[in-house]
Amino acid sequence: MTRRFHAVLFDLDGTLADTAPDLAHALNRTLEHFGRPTLPFEEIRPVVSHGGIALIRRGFGMQPEEEGFEERRLFLLDVYLKNICTHTRLFPGMDTVLEQLCAIAIPWGIVTNKPAWLTDPLMAALPMPCGTQVVISGDTLPQRKPHPAPLLHAAEKLNVDPEHCLYVGDAQRDIQAGRAAGMATACALFGYLQKQDRPDQWQADYSLHKPEDILGLLAA
């Protein structure tokens, strides 16, 4: 059997792991602390992939340059760090995918814009069926997605040519980064897409309705 891909790389939030419950909790505790009404989970979930800045924008209707924005963002991140894996889990079916990757000796890794001080404790706390070979966080390099550098760095760490890598993500910047790196790309439609997102226009090579769809892409 000829392998189509020699490595699989994943975005973290909204692709590998369902982090929305813990991030939604952090936003709502922040809203309460600053005297604002909480938001329903369904309104918070689509914003999660875009990080703390996007969450504060959504919750408070503020912009980063406004007074008080950074105070609220730091409060949110502190609450999140203290509850970083309370309700976070791998997306259903992702454990099967990782088990299969390990069983057939295809290395896998993470390339996320989440900073290492949040990525590392989350990865340490998140139950995994087998270990990852590389984790590239948002501050590992000077560049972040949609720049291709983090993906190219991950491929180099795995000693795999980019053209033999598959990158899976749920945001347009993931697909842009993967394409710029010369990798095959797959859009995780089960992730945190917003109403205005048009994944059919992102030019991903594949669309995934569930994590197990990755298994069909592993062999020619």
Tokens of 99: 């088990």
Alpha-carbon distance of 7 to 215, in angstroms, equals 12
Compute the Cα dihedral for 108, 113, 116, 119 and give only its sign.
Answer: negative
Check if the beta carbon of residue 9 is closer than 8 Å to that of residue 111: yes
Task: Give the HSE-up count for residue 59: Cα atoms under 13 Å, Cβ half-sphere.
Answer: 33
Distances (CA, A) of 191 to 15, 36, 46, 53: 6, 27, 8, 19
| Annotation marks residue 22 as catalytic | no
| Annotation marks residue 174 as catalytic | no
Check 13, 170, 197, 213 and give the catalytic one.
13
- The full DSSP string for 23-82 is HHHHHHHHHHHTT-----HHHHGGGGGGHHHHHHHHHH---TTSTTHHHHHHHHHHHHHH
Alpha-carbon distance of 192 to 13, in angstroms, equals 8
Check 11, 22, 170, 213 and give the catalytic one.
11
Alpha-carbon distance of 15 to 108, in angstroms, equals 13
Check if the beta carbon of residue 214 is closer than 8 Å to that of residue 96: no
- Active-site residues, by number, are 11, 13
